[in-house]
């Protein structure tokens, strides 16, 4: 078996069959942390072709696997033991579920003879994760392991991608067995409905004010190029969700940017005045729509999605197209005579272009991130991946950085997971060693998984970290200021550690700045570094993210600053 293939009649332990099945699926890298119930699998890893990345917390394993999946387009794989190991993966599983990331999660379990006895480190992870996985497997026979892995990969990839759990009892992992290699499972997306396409083409042809509303499903479906072709043919104004940033050229005058709560005002105005929405791989998320009842009130809807459950779930579709997104977009593409509408949207785009002329000498975060994006592009071209944590800095990144592809921007959308950025950057770095990986974090978020600085050092990874420090839980503080009468509750982080010293303790070089005139040289030093490096940036604790759609309001009611 020198070639590593699975051959009929081979006798191996269940754990060895698991590793062999992963190899056969093309897995190269997986992320995990060992423990008692999963130990047979770790024993089988010795001498395998798989590269195992030892993280310092199981949540880091799941989030790194998500970063790997989103940067590579492959299924991410993570692994942990039973009990607390499995429960520490749950946040990452939920993140993958809400952002539709293909993920295989392998957990060790107590022996089948002890299941249900409250044994040491026994937790029903199968039951715990049922609402946040596409499918779960509890393997009770070692003969079933290879077929289970094959099925798990197929499910994780097909249709709307998502996480799949394999729970492996220890006695099943150690049992010796022969297994016949099953046929590889390959499934192709269903072709789009012909009747839906005909109705959609008629709506598109009759439209005077169409807007393309693209979501993260475009990237999951491998339909970015098709979306770009559709946009080039129709020249319809386009808006993007947080997870679709990069799907279209941000410098194109017909790309209005991100819509929604912290989106560009021009994008929101266009949607509110549109008579037709071409919704591609988006799900009418509340952060994108604002008050749903007033969202795009004049528009009919063409909804394209791989998941039939999304079509009509929140907004009725006048034309529904479920299936292969790329084929549907190519079939819909047609030139449109909408020059007055294009001119109106271009005017909104110009009127509401981001401004960077903030007064004072303090570091202005939007300008710093704009400079970071420009300098990275000048130095590395399109070989830059930016991962991001959750909070004010997440919105500033979305607003002020420019992304050439969806896979160049990795952030936690649906779950909003603080601590996402650093592990995701580790996963992205393993997935794309040809790219420069930059993690933008906040002083709240970085502490959630700061232990993964040790993983950076262990593997000699080059990840650049920009840490925006406002000594507060900034987004919560902003909402308390605006909507809770400035009653600030548990948002003060002024007792933060010295983050430069923290990084250096993990043997990561670091520098700190707090003035605007230091930004350019600091960014140059950061991007030129040949190792990982942390740039600690102190910013004004009172800085807010603008514009903002207040809760319960229409996207047409954005505010640019707090009313006097």
Q: Known catalytic residues?
A: 58, 120-121, 170, 475
What are the residues facing 303 on neighbouring strands?
279, 320
Q: Any residues with CB less than 8 A from the CB of 353 and at least 6 apart, and which?
A: none
For the beta carbon of residue 230, count every other beta carbon within 10 angstroms: 25
- Alpha-carbon distance of 445 to 201, in angstroms, equals 45
- Taking each helix axis as running N to C, give the angle between helix 265-273 and helix 339-351, from 0 to 180 degrees, rounded to the nearest 10: 150
Do 230 and 360 touch, CB atoms closer than 8 A? no
Q: Which three-class secondary structure state does DSSP give residue 193?
A: coil
CB-CB contact of 514 with 526 (8 Å): no
Please give the Cα distance from 392 to 468 (Å, whole number): 9
- Show the beta-strand stretches assigned E in 230-371: 238-240, 255-258, 276-280, 300-305, 319-322
DSSP string for 74-97 = S-EEEEE-STHHHHHTHHHHHHHH
Helices 392-400 and 365-380: angle between axes, nearest 10 degrees: 50
Angle at 432 between CA 469 and CA 386, to 5 degrees: 25
Which two structure tokens, joined as six digits, stand for 53?
């990345």
Distance, in Å, from the CA atom of 315 to the CA atom of 295, rounded to the nearest integer, reads 10
Q: Are 332 and 200 contacting, i.e. CB atoms less than 8 angstroms apart? A: yes
Strands 463-469 and 436-442 turn out to be parallel
3-class DSSP state of 131: helix
The answer to whether residues 303 and 279 touch, using CB atoms and an 8 Å cutoff, is yes
What span, in angstroms and rounded, lies between the C-alpha atoms of 447 and 431? 24
Return all residues near 447 (Cβ < 8 A) that are at least 6 apart. 419
Q: How far apart (Å, rounded) are the C-alpha atoms in residues 77 and 66?
A: 8
Residue with tokens 């896979």: 407
463-469 vs 176-178, strand pairing mode: unpaired
Distances (CA, A) of 464 to 64, 68, 137, 341, 425: 16, 17, 38, 42, 9
């Amino acid at each position: 078996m020198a070639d590593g293939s699975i051959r009929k009649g081979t006798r191996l332990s269940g754990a060895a069959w698991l590793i062999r099945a992963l190899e056969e699926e093309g897995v190269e890298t997986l992320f995990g942390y060992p423990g008692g119930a999963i130990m047979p699998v770790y024993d089988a890893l010795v001498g395998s072709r798989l590269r195992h990345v030892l993280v310092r917390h199981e949540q880091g394993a799941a989030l790194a696997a998500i970063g790997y999946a989103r940067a590579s387009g492959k299924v991410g794989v993570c692994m942990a033991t039973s009990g607390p190991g499995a429960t520490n993966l749950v946040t990452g599983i939920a993140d993958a579920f809400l952002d539709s990331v293909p993920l295989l999660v392998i957990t060790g379990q107590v022996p089948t003879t002890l299941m249900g006895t409250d044994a040491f480190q026994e937790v029903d992870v199968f039951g715990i994760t049922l609402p946040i996985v596409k499918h779960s497997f509890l393997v009770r026979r070692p003969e079933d392991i290879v077929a289970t892995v094959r099925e798990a990969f197929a499910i994780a990839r097909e249709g709307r991608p998502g996480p799949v759990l394999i729970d492996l009892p220890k006695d099943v992992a150690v049992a010796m067995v022969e297994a016949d290699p099953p046929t590889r499972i390959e499934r192709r997306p269903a072709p789009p409905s012909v009747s839906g396409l005909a109705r959609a083409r008629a709506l598109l042809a009759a439209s005077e004010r169409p807007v393309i509303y693209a979501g993260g499903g475009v990237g999951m479906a491998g339909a970015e190029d098709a979306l770009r072709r559709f946009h080039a043919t129709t020249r319809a104004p386009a808006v993007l969700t947080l997870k679709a940033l990069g799907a279209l050229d941000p410098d194109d005058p017909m790309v209005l940017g991100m819509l929604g709560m912290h989106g560009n005002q021009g994008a929101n105005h266009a949607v509110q005045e549109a008579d037709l929405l071409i919704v591609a791989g988006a799900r009418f998320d509340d952060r994108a729509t604002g008050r749903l009842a007033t969202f795009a009130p004049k528009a009919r809807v063409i909804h394209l999605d791989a998941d039939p459950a999304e079509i009509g779930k929140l907004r009725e579709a006048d034309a529904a197209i479920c299936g292969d997104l790329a084929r549907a977009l190519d079939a819909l593409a047609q030139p449109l005579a909408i020059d007055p509408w294009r001119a109106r949207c271009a005017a909104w785009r110009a009127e509401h272009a981001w401004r960077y002329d903030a007064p004072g000498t303090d570091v202005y975060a939007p300008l710093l991130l704009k400079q970071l994006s420009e300098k990275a592009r000048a130095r590395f071209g399109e070989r830059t991946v930016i991962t991001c944590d959750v909070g004010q800095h997440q919105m500033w990144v979305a607003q002020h950085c420019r992304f050439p592809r969806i896979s160049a921007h990795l952030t936690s959308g649906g779950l909003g997971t603080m601590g996402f950025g650093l592990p995701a950057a580790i996963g992205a770095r393993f997935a794309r060693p040809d790219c420069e990986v930059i993690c933008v974090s906040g002083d709240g978020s970085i502490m959630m998984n700061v232990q993964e600085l040790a993983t950076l050092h262990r593997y000699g990874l080059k990840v650049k970290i920009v840490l925006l420090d406002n000594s507060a839980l900034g987004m919560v503080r902003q909402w308390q200021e605006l909507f809770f009468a400035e009653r600030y509750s548990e948002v003060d982080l002024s007792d933060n550690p010295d983050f430069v010293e923290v990084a250096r303790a993990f043997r990561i070089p670091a520098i700190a700045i707090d003035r605007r005139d230091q930004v350019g040289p600091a960014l140059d030093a950061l991007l030129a570094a040949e190792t990982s490096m942390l740039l600690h940036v102190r910013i004004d604790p009172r800085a807010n993210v603008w514009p903002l759609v207040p809760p319960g309001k229409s996207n047409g009611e954005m505010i640019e600053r707090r009313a006097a």
